[in-house]
A and B are shown apart, each in its own frame.
Chain A
């Protein structure tokens, strides 16, 4: 089944404790992206990647890192999480052109205390 998977689905952590949220897709998509969703603000893009070893900042990249060492994986890294990073995070993937559908993962709900 074609899908985007994320792990963990739920995470409660404390300020400053490094964490990684994994994202994997099995559709051989070149493009992958991370969004955060907060009430009233919609989906805001954190980082995106157009292919292996090619990443770029989205609208809200501060406090996040990403890597794209393999085509299928695009982990999101929070080196020193803070409470303002408490949010619902979605990973998405698509083919590389503008006419492509984005497929979203199930989401990761992160709480930073």
Chain B
């Protein structure tokens, strides 16, 4: 049931773009995205809901393709502060728990 994230790791220079993908083998109601800095707790980025409504903030966007059971996180003009591990989370079938992928590590250098 764990969603699959790709790629596992991305290395960028400041100003470059990146896309992180998250796919599930089951129908999704929502996809959550979190970022974790080294040694810190995960922090909420955004939620994408079935039907297209997106709730979140920061200058990072995402898409949610319900038919393909996929979501993608778009980081444009990356900054040093974007470095960290990005996790997508999908709800379980009962809607009672959030199941996270294994994460994608993003490294941005100057």
On whether the beta carbons of B97 and A33 are closer than 8 Å, the reply is yes
- Assembled-state Cα–Cα distance A40/B103 (Å): 8
From A45, A102, A105, contact of B32 by CB (8 A): A102
With contact pairs A99-B30, A99-B49, A102-B32 given, residues A50 and B41 touching in the complex (Cβ less than 8 Å) = no
On whether the beta carbons of A43 and B42 are closer than 8 Å, the reply is yes
The reply to whether the CB of A74 lies closer than 8 angstroms to some CB of chain B is no
- Assembled-state Cα–Cα distance A104/B43 (Å): 7
With contact pairs A42-B2, A90-B42 given, residues A58 and B100 touching in the complex (Cβ less than 8 Å) = no
Question: Shortest beta-carbon distance, A107 to chain B, in Å?
Answer: 6
By size class, the interface of chain A is 20 to 34
- Assembled-state Cα–Cα distance A42/B97 (Å): 15
Chain B contacts of A43 at CB under 8 A? 42, 87, 89, 100, 103
On whether the beta carbons of A105 and B41 are closer than 8 Å, the reply is yes
Within A26-53, the residues touching B (CB, 8 Å) are 33, 35, 40-45, 48, 50
Chain B contacts of A48 at CB under 8 A? 96-97
4 residue pairs, one from A and one from B, having the closest CB atoms: A104-B41, A42-B102, A43-B100, A101-B44
B residues apposed to A, CB below 8 Å: 1-2, 29-30, 32, 34, 40-44, 47, 49, 55, 87, 89, 91, 95-103
Other than the given A35-B100, A58-B97, 19 more pairs (CB < 8 A) read A42-B102, A43-B87, A43-B100, A45-B97, A45-B98, A48-B97, A56-B96, A90-B41, A98-B30, A99-B49, A101-B44, A101-B47, A102-B42, A102-B44, A102-B98, A103-B44, A105-B41, A106-B40, A107-B40
